[in-house]
Amino acid sequence: MEQGSPHATRVTIERLGHRGDGIAAGPVYVPGALPGEVVEGAVQSGVIAAPRIVTPSTDRVAAPCRHAKACGGCQLQHASDDFVAGWKVDVIRRALSAQGLETELRPIATSPSQSRRRAAFSARRTKKGALAGFHRKASDVVVAVPDCILVTPALAAALPLVEALAVLGASRKGELSVLVTDCASGLDVAVSGGKPLDTALRADLAALAQDHGLSRLTWDDETLAFKPAFQSFDGIDVVPPPGAFLQATEAGEQTLRAGVNAALESCTHLVDLFAGCGTFALPLAKRARVHAVEGEAAMVRALDQGWRQAQGLRHVTHEARDLFRNPLLPDELKRFDGVVIDPPRAGAEAQIAEIASARVPKIAHVSCNPVTFARDCATLVAAGYRLDWVMPVDQFRWSTHVEVVSALSLQD
């Protein structure tokens, strides 16, 4: 660490942290900096909040989105695609290494720009109308993002709709949260944080939904306008409940599904744990019997309806069950020759232990958190499984998040 210009400190960035900030010795955190760069600026509480890049990295690029400096939606637009891909693969490699695991790391699959099919917009009423977009970096200030290159064109074009919702139903002091999902039948919109519904507001919102051709509009827990808000899982139509979990991009979903299929290629009787609305369970039923387990009853009902209306699927059974508090036990698991597990970020420590005890032959493990993924894989490896391969999947382009799909097999 050196003194640069008066009142400024000069540092060399050694690595990126898990939030995408550059980290120098000290540690000193420098948002927007890359490894190898020399930067300077005032250090306050261990952070250079407004750095000047003295020596830029060869991996530094001009941000492709004009909103990148203000918007907090992306953390890594200043880095080349190759750098971001390599960094994300290294995040997974380090997580595995910390658990003593080594395996084949397949090439990363990165979703294209303008492919994110769901976005949580924020909106506030203003004196002249409303402002909708994403939050400014490290702030609750809303920044308009009319040319966002992350989301699908249909979502980018939804900002006037979000503003109109705020004009109708946001309080002057509160912030409206508007979750917009792109689906085949139009936009699926779920709003929270707005005014309580009354007769006039219901009528206004229903008219707005009709004018904008929405497939569904949900205000807190009440659905005001509805036509089937379909999502297609490998050609199988499902209507998820409002706000239900959905893979972020179609490309990412297809990559994860292909990985799950490859991991369970020889299996004929499968259990899908944390099954959601059937992202994996329903396509797998084209060739195998499947039992789907999910904690949210509304998602299970959507999965069941999708199965009943589809053609050519094998038998799919299901249950609503909290797999954290009540995991499937070995005597329930032993009838299956393959498991799909796609838990939330916390992982599935209790359920993984029961799978290990049951010794199910094949496992397809999907995860959005490399740290808990590696922890759970280590439990399985200690119980006699081999981690055959891991494939990084980047559905959250220009962010610090990365997902994986992997194959594990029981060793004799």
Give binding residues for S-adenosyl-L-methionine as ranges: 247, 274, 294, 342
Query: Would the CA dihedral through 236, 242, 243, 244 be positive or negative?
Result: negative
Q: Which of 74, 148, 267, 368 is catalytic?
A: 368
The two beta strands, 129-135 and 118-126, are antiparallel
What's the half-sphere exposure (Cβ side, CA atoms, 13 Å) at 26? 22
Exposure string over 58-91, b if 16+ CB within 10 A, otherwise e:
ebbbebebebbebbebbbbbbbeeebbbebbbbb
Burial class (CB in 10 A: 0-12, 13-18, 19+), 405: buried
- DSSP string across 207-251: HHHHHTT-SEEEETTEEEEES---EEETTEEE-PPTT----SBHH
For residue 111, what is the DSSP state? P
Contact 18, 42 (CB under 8 A): no
Instruction: Kindly list the distances between the CA atom of residue 148 and the CA atoms of 88, 115, 151, 172, in Å, as whole numbers in the listed order.
Output: 23, 11, 6, 26
Contact 175, 145 (CB under 8 A): no
Active-site residue flag, 377: no
Query: Would the CA dihedral through 338, 365, 303, 253 be positive or negative?
Result: negative
Contact 341, 348 (CB under 8 A): yes
Contact 222, 230 (CB under 8 A): no
* Look-up of token digits 């009528």: 203
* Cis bond before residue 27 (omega within 30° of 0): yes
Cα gap 367→373, rounded to integer Å: 6
Report residue 264 as tokens.
Answer: 């369970």
Please list the active-site residues.
Answer: 368
